[in-house]
């Protein structure tokens, strides 16, 4: 059994020309054995083998995808904190300087604290002392112009939220506690006062909360419970 030395096709003992590539098989012939032609023949052979075995191509493609995924995970993008150009921590949008100190949390730090807003309230001893029971309400995001109304089915609270910080905030969650004149909580509701569109420094927007109608409701205390930078 013989094979063409140029393309690898099986040939008979009597063939002088390859039936596949047409090359001269006689010994000592022509210039086909130059390094350039040998390289071309090798590439042609590889391509033919891939065509005969398509699983090889799929395996190569899968390997490339895996490498790209690893590169993306190991090499995250830049920190999204305004003005920061450091690399973000893997799995987070922020670098070590701006990521919450709680390992499992990927939010940005709140003000000068090492924690995000949620963990700032939980773990930072200065939180209550510095800002009182509602630090965001009095410092960063201000709730104002709260008004109560009602229709045939609901008691409604409406008002304004203003961003007093120096950064754009988004996904701002607020909670309303609907109370009697004596301060007893009758019902609560929450909503996103600001969504993905964000609220830039100095901007304000309207919000609305509602609960089932109750004539005993005389007041609504609204607080910010979470937000993202």
What is the distance between the alpha carbons of residues 95 and 81, in angstroms, rounded to a whole number?
8
Confidence of residue 135 (pLDDT cuts 50, 70, 90): very low
Whole-model pTM? 0.42
109: DSSP letter: P
pLDDT average, residue stretch 80-88: 79
Q: Which among 130, 133, 145 has a CA at the least distance from the CA of 207?
A: 145
Least Cα distance to 214 among 180, 182, 191, 189 occurs for: 180
Antiparallel, parallel or unpaired: β 185-194 and 141-150: unpaired
When the pLDDT of each residue in the chain is averaged and rounded to a whole number, the result is 77
Helix, strand or coil for residue 28?
A: coil
Sheet with 185-194, edge to edge strand ranges:
185-194, 170-179, 219-228
Helix (H) or strand (E) holding 211: strand 204-212
Q: Is the pLDDT of residue 164 over 50?
A: yes
Considering Cα of 176, then 172, then 128, then 162, what sign does the dihedral take?
A: negative
Whole-angstrom CA distances from 212 to 28, 139, 152, 180, 221 are 99, 31, 9, 14, 16
Amino acid 81: pLDDT: 77
Rounded Cα distance, 22 and 12, in Å? 14
pLDDT tens digit string along 180-205?
988 888 899 999 999 989 899 889 99
CA distance to 66, 79, 90, 214, per residue, from 94 (Å) = 25, 4, 9, 45
Residue 138 has pLDDT above 70, yes or no: no
pLDDT over 70 (residue 119): yes
The pLDDT of 207-228, averaged and rounded, is 89
The pLDDT of residue 133:
44
Q: What percent of the chain has pLDDT over 70?
A: 73
């Amino acid at each position: 059994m013989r094979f063409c030395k140029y393309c690898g096709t099986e040939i008979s003992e009597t063939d002088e020309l390859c039936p596949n590539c047409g090359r001269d098989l006689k010994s000592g012939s022509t210039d086909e054995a130059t390094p350039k032609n040998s390289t071309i023949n090798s590439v042609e052979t590889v391509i033919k083998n891939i065509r005969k075995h398509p699983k090889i191509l799929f395996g190569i493609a899968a390997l490339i995808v895996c490498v790209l995924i690893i590169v993306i995970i190991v090499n995250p993008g830049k920190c999204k904190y305004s003005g920061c150009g450091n690399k973000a921590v893997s799995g987070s949008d922020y670098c070590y300087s701006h990521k919450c100190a709680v390992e499992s949390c990927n939010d940005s730090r709140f003000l000068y604290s090492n924690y995000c807003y949620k963990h700032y309230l939980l773990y930072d001893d200065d939180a209550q002392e510095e800002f009182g029971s509602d630090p965001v309400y009095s410092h960063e995001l201000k709730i104002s112009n709260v008004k109560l109304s009602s229709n045939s089915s609901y008691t409604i609270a409406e008002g304004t939220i203003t961003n007093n910080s120096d950064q754009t905030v988004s996904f701002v969650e607020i909670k309303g506690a609907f109370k009697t004149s004596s301060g007893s909580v009758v019902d609560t509701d929450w909503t996103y006062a600001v969504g993905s569109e964000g609220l830039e420094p100095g901007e304000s927007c309207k919000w609305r909360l509602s609960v089932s109608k109750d004539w005993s409701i005389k007041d609504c205390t609204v607080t910010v419970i979470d937000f993202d930078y």
